[in-house]
């Protein structure tokens, strides 16, 4: 099957060489100095390091070929990361890279979320890790009111920028230092655009990563719809089986004169496999408003039920908090300068985290970003180990686009 | 000399079908010339300060007053980013990440790509002819001066705009934008009138903010096609996400 798909893609690509094509990309280098949380150093976390530098170099090369109603798109993502935190042998019960911080610094560290086709190379040795991944590679056909896609897809929808529970296919990156990063998902998508106010998308995705590669496919069947109920109200709905759970949920967004308000809900059943599990559900309320020509604010608050059976090292959400409220401010004092500050608070534990970023355009295609991440108040809950993993970081990034 | 100006004014404006005594018709005529029923245009936008310039190339499609689609052609960082407006709803689309984002209608007042223009200016969400009431003020030299006051039911960001229109061709040469406190906030200058498909359009626009006159944003129209016919689903989410 893979062989035939490859042949097909090569054939179509070859036949399209004379057609319209486009290539673009970006490269980014980051240096980060990180100070560990003192409570993470001892049992049971064993993150026994104090202060380290972390170096990151990554980039995308994106290509697109169009011919008639068809298109092939691909994105090659490469990343090199270096730090002493990669160096030591695994400690304690963890079977991941030695220190969990490396996975957080490179979030999202899995660039293919549902993986059938592989097409990636990851190598970790000594104090560095190298990754080379074709994280987007698909064929698309557009009819007059329908769209078909097959291959490795980006699936992006939902208004949440800090927490976006209705979309399990791409993690929001608002709280990270990365940009221009998206996760690929292997499978097929059928989208039907019904009238002007309703679209419905069927996703058939597979994942062999959790089982042995030649074992059974852990499937995803997902329906995502967007219905424009009125000039001001849009309803999105999601329904399906994903990661061995049945899920149902939706999003309602309403355009007030001064702001956009949205609400998300997602319910997940217990695992449909025999393993012990609990059900999960998520809530999100958000508000997005442009206050002046230069000042933009966003509020997101919500709840996510914790998975009692997930181990710390397999958590899939960045900065896990159970009840949370986040406020983001973005201010553009000058056409070349953008500054932002985001504070996120775990209401139950009192844990708070602050993210500051300043972006300066140095040429028309190059920008420098300074960033800082820091817990500003420690949580009073002793059982939320993940919050103790949050480090204090200062860093600078140089990114260029071509 | 004055008589010559008045005669020229009447002759030209009558010749182009405008009743020079009605500010409403004057504005409607100017808007029909500059925006037409539909258009496809390509332009450059240059943000200029004493120390640096930044230029963007933009493609813009407009259908009536309810639909607009803009695409950034360069620079590389923003290339391909599209904005679709259908009535009061707006979406941004980032093609490299395949991400479509619904945008708050309050974003219409946001600066467009750091320029002195807003999303409202670029997407032509408001209509000077329809969203404002008009009356003539005292003429200034070769200009007809028209006071435009926002209608109570219109959703526009400028409560008062003063238009300075040429008596020769009835097209605007300057807009002055005032805030709620009546303070002048920015001035838009028009020049380089060119004809596209029978429409006379100023092709060089300069927006100068009052709080910093050392900087300005310049739009230069490279081409405008008023005869374009868009596909039925051109202003649709399918087309927005199909590039």
The ipTM is 0.84
Which residues from chain B sit within 8 angstroms of residue A144, using beta carbons?
233
Q: Please check whether residue A25 is in contact with residue B79, taking contact to mean a CB–CB distance below 8 angstroms.
A: no
Choose among A24, A294, A336: nearest Cβ to B79.
A24
Torsion of CA A96, A101, A102, A104, to 10 degrees: 100
Q: Do B106 and A257 touch (CB under 8 A)?
A: yes
Q: Please check whether residue A103 is in contact with residue A81, taking contact to mean a CB–CB distance below 8 angstroms.
A: no
- Residue ranges of domains in chain B: 2-240
* Alpha-carbon distance A240 to nearest alpha carbon in chain B (angstroms): 21
In the structure, what pLDDT confidence band is assigned to residue B169 with cuts at 50, 70 and 90?
confident
Q: Do A159 and B101 touch (CB under 8 A)?
A: yes
Domains and CATH numbers, chain A: 2-401 (2.40.160.10)
Q: Do A155 and B77 touch (CB under 8 A)?
A: no
- Determine the residue among A180, A260, A329 to mutate to test chain B binding: the one whose Cβ has the most chain B Cβ atoms within 10 Å: A260
The conformation of residue B232, written as its DSSP 8-state character, comes to T
* Alpha-carbon distance A365 to nearest alpha carbon in chain B (angstroms): 6
Q: What is the pLDDT of residues A72-83, one digit of tens each?
A: 999 999 999 999
* Alpha-carbon distance B110 to nearest alpha carbon in chain A (angstroms): 4
| Other CB atoms within 10 Å distance of the CB of residue A14 | 9
- A87 vs A90, A361, A387, CA distance in Å? 9, 35, 24
Which residues from chain B sit within 8 angstroms of residue A361, using beta carbons?
54
Helix H or strand E encompassing B92: strand B89-94
pLDDT score for B61: 95
Q: Do A157 and B111 touch (CB under 8 A)?
A: no
Which residues from chain A sit within 8 angstroms of residue B113, using beta carbons?
335
Choose among A193, A253, A365: nearest Cβ to B76.
A365
Between residues A309 and B178, the one the model is more confident about: B178
pLDDT score for A160: 94
Any bridge partners for residue A60, and if so which?
A26, A77
Which segments in chain A show pLDDT lower than 70? 1-18, 88-98, 209-215, 311-320, 380-383
Query: Considering chain B, what is the average pLDDT of its residues?
Result: 86
Long-range Cβ contacts of B60-67 (<8 Å, 24+ apart)? B60/B122, B61/B228, B61/B230, B61/B234, B61/B235, B62/B35, B62/B38, B62/B124, B63/B37, B63/B38, B63/B230, B63/B234, B63/B235, B64/B37, B64/B38, B65/B124, B65/B127, B65/B130, B67/B235
For the whole prediction, is pTM greater than 0.80? yes
**Cβ-based interface (< 8 Å): residues of B facing A:** 47, 49, 52, 54-55, 75-77, 79-80, 86-89, 96-111, 113-115, 118, 155, 233, 236-238, 242
pLDDT score for A355: 95
Superfamily, domain B2-240: Lipoprotein localisation LolA/LolB/LppX (2.50.20.10)
Q: Do A290 and B109 touch (CB under 8 A)?
A: yes
Q: Nearest chain B Cα to A260, which residue?
A: B104
Any bridge partners for residue B168, and if so which?
none
Between residues A104 and B12, the one the model is more confident about: A104
């Amino acid at each position: 099957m893979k062989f035939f798909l490859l042949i097909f893609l090569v054939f179509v690509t070859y036949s399209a060489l004379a057609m319209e094509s486009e290539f673009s990309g970006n490269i980014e280098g980051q240096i980060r100095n990180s100070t560990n949380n003192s409570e993470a150093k001892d049992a049971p976390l064993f993150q026994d390091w104090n202060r380290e530098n972390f170096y990151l170099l990554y980039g995308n090369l994106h290509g697109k070929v169009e011919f008639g109603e068809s298109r092939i798109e691909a994105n090659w993502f490469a990343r090199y990361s270096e730090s002493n935190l990669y160096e030591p042998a695994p400690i304690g019960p963890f079977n991941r890279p030695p220190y969990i911080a490396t996975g957080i610094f490179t979030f999202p560290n899995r660039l293919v979320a549902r993986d059938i086709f592989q097409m990636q190379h990851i190598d970790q040795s000594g104090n560095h890790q190298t990754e080379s991944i074709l994280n987007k590679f698909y064929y698309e056909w557009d009819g007059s009111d329908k769209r078909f896609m097959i291959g490795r897809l980006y699936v992006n929808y939902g208004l949440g920028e800090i927490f976006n529970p209705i979309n399990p296919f791409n993690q929001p990156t608002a709280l990270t230092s990365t940009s221009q990063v998206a996760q690929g998902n292997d499978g097929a998508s059928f989208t039907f655009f019904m009238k002007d106010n309703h679209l419905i998308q069927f996703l058939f995705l597979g994942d062999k990563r959790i089982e042995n590669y030649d074992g059974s496919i852990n499937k995803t069947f997902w329906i995502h719809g967007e219905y424009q109920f009125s000039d001001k109200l849009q309803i999105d709905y999601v329904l399906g089986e994903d990661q061995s759970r049945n899920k149902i949920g939706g999003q309602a967004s309403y355009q007030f004169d001064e702001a956009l308000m949205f609400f998300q809900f997602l319910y997940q059943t217990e695992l449909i496999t025999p393993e012990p599990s609990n059900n999960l559900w998520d809530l999100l309320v958000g508000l997005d408003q442009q206050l002046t020509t230069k000042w933009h604010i966003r509020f997101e608050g919500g709840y996510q039920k914790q998975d009692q059976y997930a181990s710390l090292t397999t958590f899939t959400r960045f900065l896990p908090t159970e009840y949370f409220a986040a406020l983001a401010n973005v201010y553009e004092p000058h056409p070349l300068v953008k500054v932002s500050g985001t504070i996120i608070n775990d209401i139950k534990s009192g844990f708070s985290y602050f993210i500051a970023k300043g972006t300066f355009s140095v040429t028309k295609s190059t920008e420098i970003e300074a960033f800082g991440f820091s817990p500003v108040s420690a949580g009073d809950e002793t059982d939320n180990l993940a919050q103790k993993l949050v480090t204090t970081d200062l860093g600078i990034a140089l990114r260029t686009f071509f | 000399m004055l008589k010559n100006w008045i005669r020229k004014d009447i002759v030209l404006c009558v010749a182009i079908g405008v009743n020079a005594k009605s500010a409403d018709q004057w504005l409607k005529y100017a808007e029909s010339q500059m925006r037409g029923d539909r258009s496809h245009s390509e332009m450059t936008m240059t943000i200029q300060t004493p120390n640096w310039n930044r230029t963007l190339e933009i493609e813009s499609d407009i259908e009536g007053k309810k639909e607009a689609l803009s695409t950034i052609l360069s620079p590389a960082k923003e290339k391909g980013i599209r904005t679709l407006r259908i009535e009061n709803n707006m979406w941004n689309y980032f093609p490299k990440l395949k991400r479509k984002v619904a945008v708050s209608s309050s974003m219409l007042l946001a600066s467009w790509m750091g320029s002195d223009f807003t999303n409202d200016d670029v997407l032509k969400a408001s209509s000077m002819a329809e969203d404002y009431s008009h009356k003539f003020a005292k003429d200034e030299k070769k200009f007809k001066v028209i006071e435009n006051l926002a209608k109570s039911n219109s959703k526009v960001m400028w409560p008062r705009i003063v238009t300075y229109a040429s008596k020769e061709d009835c097209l605007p040469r300057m807009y002055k934008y005032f805030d709620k406190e009546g303070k002048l906030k920015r001035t838009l200058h028009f020049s380089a009138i060119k004809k596209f498909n029978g429409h006379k359009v100023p092709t060089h626009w300069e927006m100068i903010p009052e709080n910093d006159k050392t900087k300005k944003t310049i739009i230069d129209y490279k081409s405008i096609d008023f005869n374009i016919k868009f596909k039925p689903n051109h202003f649709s989410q399918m087309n927005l996400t199909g590039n």
